[in-house]
Amino acid sequence: MDVPFFGGCACGAVRYECSVVPLAMVSCHCRDCQRAGGSGFSPTVLVPAVAFKLLKGEPKFHTIKADSGHTARRAFCAERGAPLFASTSARSDCLGIRAGSLDDPSWFRPQAEVWAASAQPWDHLNPEVPHFPHDSQRGPNA
Q: What is the C-alpha separation between 113 and 110, in angstroms, rounded?
A: 7
**pTM for this model (two decimals):** 0.87
Q: What is the C-alpha separation between 42 and 2, in angstroms, rounded?
A: 22
pLDDT tens-place values along the chain, 142 residues long: 789 999 999 999 999 999 999 999 999 998 888 888 889 999 999 999 999 999 999 999 999 887 678 898 999 999 999 999 999 888 889 999 999 999 999 999 999 999 999 999 999 899 999 999 886 544 333 3
Nearest CA among 129, 91, 127, 85 for reference residue 110? 129
Amino acid identity at 38: G
What value, to the nearest 5°, has the Cα angle with vertex 47 and ends 41 and 48? 140
86, β-bridge pairs: 74, 96
User: Which strands sit side by side in the sheet containing 52-56, from one edge to the other?
Assistant: 5-8, 15-18, 52-56
Phi, psi angle pair for 51, to nearest 5°: -90, -5
Q: 5-138, which class in CATH?
A: mainly beta
Amino acid identity at 100: G
**Conformational region of residue 79, where left means phi above 0, alpha means psi within -120 to 50, and beta covers everything else:** alpha
SS3 of residue 100 by DSSP: helix
